[in-house]
Structure 1
Amino acid sequence: MHVSHLSLHDFRSYADVDVALEAGVTAFVGSNGQGKTNLVEAIDYLSRLSSHRVATDAPLIRAGTEQAVVRAAVVRDGRTAILEVELNPGRANRARVNRSPLSRARDLAGIVRTVVFSPEDLALVKGDPSQRRRFLDDLLVLRTPRYAGVISDYERVLRQRNALLKSLYAARGSAREAALATLSVWDDQLIGTGTELLLARQQLSADLAPYLAKAYEAVARGANRDDARVEYSASVPDPSLVEEVAQQPSRDHRSVLADADPSLVEEVAQQPSRDHRSVLAEAFRAEVARRQNDEIQRGVTLVGPHRDELVLTLGPGDEQRLPVKGYASHGESWSFALALRLASYDLLRADGDDPILILDDVFAELDAERREQLASLVAGAEQVLVTAAVADDVPEVLRGITFHVAGGEVTRA
């Protein structure tokens, strides 16, 4: 898969720009602030319908204009498709494939796949859990585009439920009873969409783990394949623990279920043939019920995928294993961040696609050894797009076609 042509209208700093691209390595070189990152950001936006640099679409619209258009010709298995998205802040975005409109812009997500390496990647290991949840969700949508709808639905339910919880705190009498009945409806939707998202994230984390171990070994000095691990930690009690208690009823319910409703254990014991999804949903429901008073007091949903964590650890064995955040050195943190991106790339390739690799100003952040290691690992990709302020920062193996970016002009060298 590769992009053969990129066209932007009122996107970021560009009023209009057209760039013909090829498979292989392409480098965009220019001083900071000249717009080189805007080009690769546009391609990544087509992949995920969000930016790796900002949280909303508004900054993507050129100052003084009301909408932007990103259009690209994408070649896959010898066939070319024209993908287009129209960004309309405050209104619904619109998308087209081969000039035919899609019913929802989110249906464009995942048609072109990108993996972006950028200076912001350090936040994957040093930032708050939301950074790691977003990393998982972006990768989830690239692998299985329908999850864009699941994530969107979950976020909508969460907003509505939080608004209701805030109103419940002050509600009294019949108004409170009515609000509690409505809350039950939102509970059902939260559990339904949340269970689906939780299961998908758990499976993705398990699938990613061996690729992460291999990638970390490749980029970290002296590392071996057992050093780096990734595990999904859910705010919902693990159903496997529920089943374990059911098999060992003498164990303390409170310690194993993290204060979830012990009656759940008895239910599982009576229905041992139930599938993982239904058991997880019941564990979710029990935890929501247990935390209801706390949620009303605080006016926020305390259980669900939005409270989960992707746990990143380093160490040669379980006894010596420590969280990357707070314990890893700067170099180890960078190696782990690079390994997460490389693992994403390898996982997508294993699914049957060769994603477009975007290396956005990342070489300026790395020492010479890590530059060469990363370059050697990605040079064989079908398309690699590199941005750099200084051409000498780009390793020799990635010096393919070069464009100079300055003053809104993109010129092939």
Structure 2
Amino acid sequence: MPGATLALRQLRLSHFRSHLRVDLALDGRPVALFGANGAGKTNILEAISLLSPGRGLRRAAAADLARQPQALGWSVAGLLDSRGQTHELALRAEAGQPRSVAIDGKAVPQVALGRIARILWLVPAMDRLWTESAEGRRRFLDRMTLSFLPDHAEVALDYEKAMRQRNRLLKDGQRNASWYDALEAQMARTGAVLQDNRQHALDRIATASQDAATAFPRAVLRVQMPDDLPPHPDEAELTRLLAGGRSRDMAAGRTLAGPHRADLDAVFQAKGVAARQASTGEQKALLISVVLANARALAQDFGAPPILLLDEVAAHLDNARRAALYDEICALGAQAWMTGTGAELFDTLGPRAQAFEIAETPQGSTAKECTR
């Protein structure tokens, strides 16, 4: 168990989703949130997910997070213990305005959150990860990569910006080679870094999985690239690909090949079958295995285990796997936030976790701490 910790010590929500006002005092243990469907449990996890770079676990726009029907704006604030230091975090969005972020009272870009906090999540919508489109798996891959390399977000934005400009030229039928040369040089440079970052994340997860004693099956992960490119093409290879594909791309009106078309492939190691061909239960177990491996690797690299957001994870596990998951979380020393419809789902955690009952009332969702 790592000596340093990463944990919220206080979480305050105002006019956020179903919560008019919430103020939770926390002691660093895992947190169990239980209550009826629709009570507001996932909304709390979503608020915490916003304390990391990106748009959170639902990828919602700032305006969609405000409590209705007031739509007065919202705020999420908290005290975060991060490797021996305590930081005051504040996110807010006034009505009609984008969200703003402050750390210790100083306005910062959201990417700065990744330098003091690492947050991983698993939500029911991700159960279809292995069978849905490549876009969802690519997003999952980039979230994992971002957990190791906070600057990955800026690299991805630079690549996307250059690609949007190239796509505009393609749609307009522009044929000026010098314009394409400049944009493709930027795409090739950032695209090579993008793929190297992704491979670094997969290598770290593979190492963390290799010797781990766990009740969850191991998934072997690899990046697949279109057009027979290697998993992490270098800048020269990407330059040739983009330049050689201009005619085809112009006919399509968009860039058809590159890191933005990468896919994440997973194999159930013990059975040697693709994750998409595994049973529903096996697919869920493989996904949990990847998240736990990600957490173990981060505990080594970051110096503290990440905060875990596990929405309705207990309901889809049998008693043995549920107990094994709780044991792994506690052994890791992670502050895991877990939701479920009933308190009994967390019985095997006992006093190792804080528990809050989330209830829906006409005045908004409420959170009441329960003695375990």
For 1:83 and 1:332, the matched residues in 2 are separated by 38
Equivalent of residue 65 in structure 1, options 71, 82, 86: 71
3-state SS of the aligned residue for 2:81? strand
Over 3 Å counting, the alpha-carbon distance change for 1:79 and 1:29 in structure 2 is same
Within a 5 Å distance, the mapping from 1:160-309 to structure 2 comes to 160-168=165-173, 176-178=174-176, 180-213=177-210, 218-220=214-216, 228-235=219-226, 238=229, 280-309=234-263
For 1:365 and 1:228, the matched residues in 2 are separated by 19
Give deviations 1:214-252, integer Å, cap 9, x for gaps.
56x7234xx6xxx63111122375569xxxxxxxxxxxx
Equivalent of residue 363 in structure 1, options 296, 308, 314: 314
Deviates more, 1:152-161 or 1:189-198: 152-161
Counterpart residue number, 1:109: 114
Q: CA deviation at 1:46?
A: 0.3
Q: Any conservation in 2 of the 1:72–1:82 contact (CA below 8 Å)?
A: yes
Q: Any conservation in 2 of the 1:60–1:68 contact (CA below 8 Å)?
A: yes
Counterpart residue number, 1:405: 358
For 1:218 and 1:13, the matched residues in 2 are separated by 37
For 2:23 and 2:175, the matched residues in 1 are separated by 59
Q: For the pair shown, which has the larger CA radius of gyration, 1 or 2?
A: 1
Q: CA deviation at 1:94?
A: 1.7
Over 3 Å counting, the alpha-carbon distance change for 1:301 and 1:91 in structure 2 is farther
Structure 1 position 157 matched with structure 2 position 157: no
Q: CA deviation at 1:284?
A: 0.6
For 2:175 and 2:30, the matched residues in 1 are separated by 63
The alignment's C-alpha RMSD in Å is 2.4
Counterpart residue number, 1:123: 128
Gaps of 5+ in 1: 169-175, 241-276
Structure 1 position 20 matched with structure 2 position 25: yes
Q: CA deviation at 1:305?
A: 1.4
Q: TM-score, normalised by structure 1?
A: 0.79
Give deviations 1:370-405, integer Å, cap 9, x for gaps.
212212211232422221111112241255322111
Q: Any conservation in 2 of the 1:28–1:36 contact (CA below 8 Å)?
A: yes
Q: Any conservation in 1 of the 2:184–2:243 contact (CA below 8 Å)?
A: no
Q: Any conservation in 1 of the 2:223–2:263 contact (CA below 8 Å)?
A: yes
Q: TM-score, normalised by structure 2?
A: 0.88
Q: Any conservation in 1 of the 2:355–2:369 contact (CA below 8 Å)?
A: yes
Over 3 Å counting, the alpha-carbon distance change for 1:395 and 1:159 in structure 2 is farther
Counterpart residue number, 1:247: none
Letter of the structure 1 residue corresponding to residue 260 of structure 2? H
Over 3 Å counting, the alpha-carbon distance change for 1:390 and 1:123 in structure 2 is same
Letter of the structure 2 residue corresponding to residue 367 of structure 1? D
Q: CA deviation at 1:343?
A: 0.9
Counterpart residue number, 2:82: 76
Letter of the structure 2 residue corresponding to residue 309 of structure 1? D
Letter of the structure 1 residue corresponding to residue 368 of structure 2? T
Give deviations 1:123-181, integer Å, cap 9, x for gaps.
3322222222212212222222222211222222222222322222xxxxxxx344x44
For 2:115 and 2:132, the matched residues in 1 are separated by 26
For 1:135 and 1:296, the matched residues in 2 are separated by 29
Q: Any conservation in 1 of the 2:146–2:153 contact (CA below 8 Å)?
A: yes
Within a 5 Å distance, the mapping from 1:332-411 to structure 2 comes to 332-351=282-301, 352-380=303-331, 381-397=333-349, 400-406=353-359, 407=361, 408-411=365-368
For 2:72 and 2:155, the matched residues in 1 are separated by 29
Q: CA deviation at 1:344?
A: 0.8
Q: Any conservation in 2 of the 1:93–1:105 contact (CA below 8 Å)?
A: no
Over 3 Å counting, the alpha-carbon distance change for 1:116 and 1:231 in structure 2 is same
Over 3 Å counting, the alpha-carbon distance change for 1:382 and 1:321 in structure 2 is closer
Over 3 Å counting, the alpha-carbon distance change for 1:398 and 1:20 in structure 2 is same
Give deviations 1:308-363, integer Å, cap 9, x for gaps.
011101245xxx733211x1111211111111111111110111222112222111
Q: CA deviation at 1:92?
A: 4.3
Q: Any conservation in 1 of the 2:45–2:309 contact (CA below 8 Å)?
A: yes
Q: Which protein is richer in helix relative to its size?
A: 1
Over 3 Å counting, the alpha-carbon distance change for 1:26 and 1:315 in structure 2 is closer
For 1:16 and 1:181, the matched residues in 2 are separated by 56
Task: Give every structure 1 segment of 4 or more consecutive aligned residues whose post-TM-superposition deviation is greater than 4 Å.
Answer: 88-92, 236-240
For 1:42 and 1:386, the matched residues in 2 are separated by 14
Q: CA deviation at 1:40?
A: 1.9
Give deviations 1:259-284, integer Å, cap 9, x for gaps.
xxxxxxxxxxxxxxxxxx9x711111
